[in-house]
Copies of this chain bind each other. A is one copy, B any other.
Amino acid sequence: MAGNRFGTLFAVTTFGESHGPALGCVVDGCPAGVPLELEHIRSALRRRRPGSGGASTARAEADEPELLSGVFEGKTLGTPIAVLVRNTGSRSEDYDNLKDCYRPGHADWTWEAKYGLRDHRGGGRSSGRETLCRVAAGAVAAQFLSRYGIVIRAWSSAIGGITAAGMDDPAFSLDEAEANPLRVPCAQDAARIAERISALRAQGDSAGGTVSCAVTGVPPGLGEPVFGKLDALLASAMLSIGAAKGIEFGAGFGAARSTGSAQNDRLMPTAERLPSQAPAARYETNNAGGVLGGIATGMALLFTVAFKPVPSITRAQKTIDRTGAEREILIKGRHDICVVPRAVPVVEAMAALVLADLMLLRRADRHQPC
């Protein structure tokens, strides 16, 4: 495991520093014959770009992708699909004053402790800009998954201490989440959160929050025991996103406070049968969040990811420099106040990569000869 690759069969390798010449990804293992156009990737990247909701950075690059390989006449070839995005809008000089000191809450010091040197400009490879590669790769995965009817939708479920309407709330609307720049699934909640963000911005502060995600169309049986459990892989995928600090599936930490009689999802009678001979899945409730024993139940897959507040705040902060001496720094550059709205497509992309990989593994281990 050299750390810049994700997946076993549907595997992506990403590369690129925030202020280097370019970023990109290579998707290795996408089957041949999947319809894929540059526009699929372009529109996914557009969704990741800074919005106008007040929570986003002012760095607005075109992020125009180039498809270098793996597609011929509108279809994947079964060969590696390389996508390239050049860095054009980087203002490295914003980081000159940070060259020799370590920003609190960032990976500056840890990377230098690890490698002995670093590209200090904008966090180098530990920058949130790295997620661009994930979104590009996720767009390819989503194209593959769409053929199976698997649909992945994420949204901002809480920001700055304000929790938005949940899935069971009549006010919950995924269309609304797509319509407002904060990706909050309820217009009223979005307005309250926007106010909270404005207040934090005025105070030179930042906000954390959570992204929730629902995946429908997941075939029962997906997931690889024991260590390749569906939830284990998703947890690894989500915690690999820069600012993520936690994840929970279904009732999650709430289940930990609850009892078995309240948590067990009841299997309901059904006449339908799966190819594997088991009766088709129908659960009365979904506390499990769509996964039991690491294997998909066929119910919607549900999980929530916690993101810490953006560490780049505009207040003066104390830290140290390379000599170990105390320094006070003021962070310039263009930064989000809250990473959550822009994390939404990243969460979706990582989920797509996990599911695409597991779908290929599932095709591999079907017990009947083909």
| A29 / chain B contacts, CB cutoff of 8 Å | 2, 365
A17-32 vs B, Cβ < 8 Å mask (1 yes, 0 no) = 1001111101011011
- Closest chain-B Cβ to A215's Cβ sits at a distance in Å of 16
The number of residues on chain A lying at the interface, defined by a beta carbon within 8 Å of a beta carbon of chain B, is 172
Kindly state the separation between the CA atoms of A344 and B265 in the bound complex, as whole angstroms. 26
Binds B, one of A52-60, A180-188, A199-207: A199-207
B364 touches A221 (CB 8 A): no
A110-B296, A247-B247 are known; give 19 further A-B pairs, CB within 8 A: A2-B10, A2-B11, A4-B80, A5-B28, A15-B80, A32-B116, A78-B365, A79-B125, A102-B267, A104-B264, A105-B260, A105-B265, A105-B288, A114-B276, A200-B259, A246-B256, A248-B253, A256-B308, A363-B366
Kindly state the separation between the CA atoms of A322 and B287 in the bound complex, as whole angstroms. 23
| A10 / chain B contacts, CB cutoff of 8 Å | 2
Q: Does A111 contact B (CB under 8 A)?
A: yes
Evaluate whether A21 and B68 lie within 8 angstroms (CB atoms) in the complex, with A205-B260, A264-B311 already known. Answer: yes
**A residues 86-142 with Cβ under 8 Å of B?**
102, 104-107, 109-119, 124-126, 130
| A366 / chain B contacts, CB cutoff of 8 Å | 31, 363, 370
B256 touches A209 (CB 8 A): yes
Kindly state the separation between the CA atoms of A199 and B309 in the bound complex, as whole angstroms. 41
**A residues 230-279 with Cβ under 8 Å of B?**
231-240, 242, 244-253, 255-274, 276-279
Kindly state the separation between the CA atoms of A123 and B61 in the bound complex, as whole angstroms. 37
B117 touches A224 (CB 8 A): no
- Closest chain-B Cβ to A231's Cβ sits at a distance in Å of 5
| A249 interface neighbour in B221, B224, B246, Cβ under 8 Å | B246
- Closest chain-B Cβ to A272's Cβ sits at a distance in Å of 7
| A242 / chain B contacts, CB cutoff of 8 Å | 293-294
Kindly state the separation between the CA atoms of A14 and B13 in the bound complex, as whole angstroms. 10
**A residues 282-318 with Cβ under 8 Å of B?**
287-289, 291-298, 306-313, 315, 317-318
A240 touches B246 (CB 8 A): no
A-B contact pairs, 13 of them (CB 8 A): A5-B13, A21-B66, A22-B69, A68-B84, A104-B266, A114-B220, A115-B276, A115-B367, A161-B258, A207-B260, A210-B253, A247-B248, A269-B326
Q: Does A361 contact B (CB under 8 A)?
A: yes
| A15 interface neighbour in B70, B117, B253, B298, Cβ under 8 Å | B70
